[in-house]
Amino acid sequence: RYQSLAYNRVLEIHKQHLSPVLTAYFSEPLLLHQGHMEWLFDYEGNRYLDFFSGIVTVSVGHCHPKVNAVAQKQLGRLWHTSAVFFHPPIHEYAEKLSALLPEPVIFLMNSGSEANDLAMLMARAHSNNTDIISFRGAYHGCSPYTLGLTNVGFYKMELPSGMGCQSTMCPDVFCGPWGGSHCRDSPVQTIRKCSCAPDCCQAKDQYIEQFKDTLNTSVASIAGFFAEPIQGVNGVVQYPKGFLKEAFELVRERGGVCIADEVQTGFGRLGSHFWGFQTHGVLPDIVTMAKGIGNGFPMAAVVTTPEIAKSLAKRLLHFNTFGGNPMACAVGSSVLEVIKEENLQENSQEVGTYMLLKFAKLRDEFEIVGDVRGKGLMIGIEMVKDKTSRQPLPREEVNQIHQDCKRMGLLIGRGGTFSQTFRIAPSMCITKPEVDFAVEVFRSAVIQHMESQDK
Ligand code: PMP
């Protein structure tokens, strides 16, 4: 039992002294004390199965013993800047990460927003163009620069930010006007809006026409196009098969560069591939990464080609005091080792597919579970009023199911424009019995909700 500060005092301090925009996920905020692998414990010793891993941040498990041991060793040896000295952890890390991408040049940073800031700068420095496009619903960060790329309503402020950024329609298979098929190779089919066969689905072509329209009408000179391989914050949104490939070609024809934001999708989470972009059969010019890269330790990276790196270096000295510091690099190396040693990418594939199929059964059972989608251990469950209208289930009703899951010991995330989608992205070490538990909890919460509505 955690006694250092009473629960109510914590709430008071939070209210008085911490940023008022730091909001708690639950009506009764969770006061965490300890984490172990896929489990979290609150200050009263209650145990929760963590199926959201702190917004897709903990990749190999909370306080993983190997990562902890490496961090402790480095803590006792050197923690310092990497900006003006050399130290072996950064070179060891660069060697390990570079084995996972072709001909990479690596810039190490501290957060996803910082990484995307730098990627924007690189795209402009290399292309000599200005405009950058991203999807509606995209989340790429909250810094003044990346806010221009982030197109989720409640993060937008009535303040100038992200000059030169344009949004384009998100080719959302479930909510978009034409539907489409992303899932020829997925065991779970989204119930499609269009009647064409998945193998020759024309919805993708309609979305590509929209994309061309943005390029032709809203963009003066294209510097770059940002895309998450699967949108996270927007509710695990997938695009029609083949869309990204064609979109990348259109951007490159016009002199822009293509950027994959792998902050949520990278490091084996999607199971079939180590990087999300590989699932689309594309190779971006710039890849940004954060969150899972350090298993929760602040760390991020921008990886690009030697040519783009040179374009940046020609123009300025890019300086970052803590990016690539010895602690982060030691942690990052051990995360890569653990993913390999414990076959966590394979586990994402196997356990993720198992989970997707189990949740898909709930979609078939309940009218309010409109869609179940995703890949590996990145799964979205879209809650609707009914399957025909696809209107979002009202926020308070989604809230109730969310809180009930927590009450029964399961933590899951939320996303989507109306906060209507449950997001599931656990540490990659989870097991099938834990999935069984999570699905049963979720099912009970949905049943309780429906019973409460009937009264
Ligand atoms: N890109 C994506 C896809 C993200 O999900 C996030 C964080 N939610 C970011 C960038 C920004 O990362 P950070 O919060 O570390 O700045």
In a domain, 58, yes or no: no
- 71-99 pLDDT per residue, tens: 999 999 999 998 888 999 999 999 999 99
Nearest Cα neighbor of 362 from 396, 416, 406, 405 is 405
In a domain, 57, yes or no: no
Question: Are 336 and 379 part of one and the same domain?
Answer: no
Question: Are 330 and 424 part of one and the same domain?
Answer: no
Would you place residue 7 in the very low, low, confident or very high pLDDT band (cuts 50, 70, 90)? confident
- 401-434 pLDDT per residue, tens: 999 999 999 999 999 999 999 999 999 999 999 9
pLDDT of residue 196: 61
pLDDT over 50 (residue 184): no
Domain of 279?
Answer: 68-341
Q: In angstroms, rounded to a whole number, what is the distance separating the alpha carbons of residues 139 and 113?
A: 10
Of 341, 372, 387, the domain-final residue: 341
Nearest Cα neighbor of 248 from 205, 207, 285 is 285
Q: Give residue 361 CA to ligand 1 midpoint distance, Å.
A: 31
Q: CATH number of the domain that 304 lies in?
A: 3.40.640.10
pLDDT of residue 3: 57
In a domain, 30, yes or no: yes
Q: Indicate the Cα dihedral angle 41, 42, 47, 52, nearest 10°.
A: -70
Domains of the chain: total:
2
- DSSP-based three-state secondary structure for 277: helix
Q: In angstroms, rounded to a whole number, what is the distance separating the alpha carbons of residues 413 and 233?
A: 9
Ligand 1 pocket member 290 (CB < 6 A): yes
Q: Specify the range with the lowest mean pLDDT, choosing from 110-124, 147-161, 337-351, 361-375.
A: 147-161
Of 341, 358, 378, the domain-final residue: 341
Q: Per-residue pLDDT averaged across 363-383, rounded?
A: 96
pLDDT of residue 287: 98
Check residue 210 and give left, alpha or beta (phi > 0: left; psi -120 to 50: alpha).
Answer: alpha
Are residues 229 and 378 in contact, defined by beta-carbon separation less than 8 angstroms?
no
Ligand 1 pocket mutation, candidates 59, 134, 263, criterion most atoms within 8 A of CB: 263
Q: CATH number of the domain that 357 lies in?
A: 3.90.1150.10
In a domain, 56, yes or no: no
- 291-333 pLDDT per residue, tens: 999 999 999 999 999 999 999 988 777 889 999 999 999 999 9
Residue nearest to atom 1 of ligand 1 (CA): 140
Q: Per-residue pLDDT averaged across 9-18, rounded?
A: 90
Q: In angstroms, rounded to a whole number, what is the distance separating the alpha carbons of residues 186 and 368?
A: 22
Q: Per-residue pLDDT averaged across 214-232, rounded?
A: 96
pLDDT of residue 323: 96
Mean pLDDT across the chain: 92
In a domain, 426, yes or no: yes
Question: Are 194 and 303 part of one and the same domain?
Answer: yes
Q: Give residue 128 CA to ligand 1 midpoint distance, Å.
A: 26
Q: Which residue has the tokens 């800047």?
A: 81
Question: Are 230 and 100 part of one and the same domain?
Answer: yes
Q: Give residue 364 CA to ligand 1 midpoint distance, Å.
A: 33
Question: Are 315 and 284 part of one and the same domain?
Answer: yes
pLDDT over 90 (residue 122): yes
- Comparing 201 with 454, the larger pLDDT belongs to 454
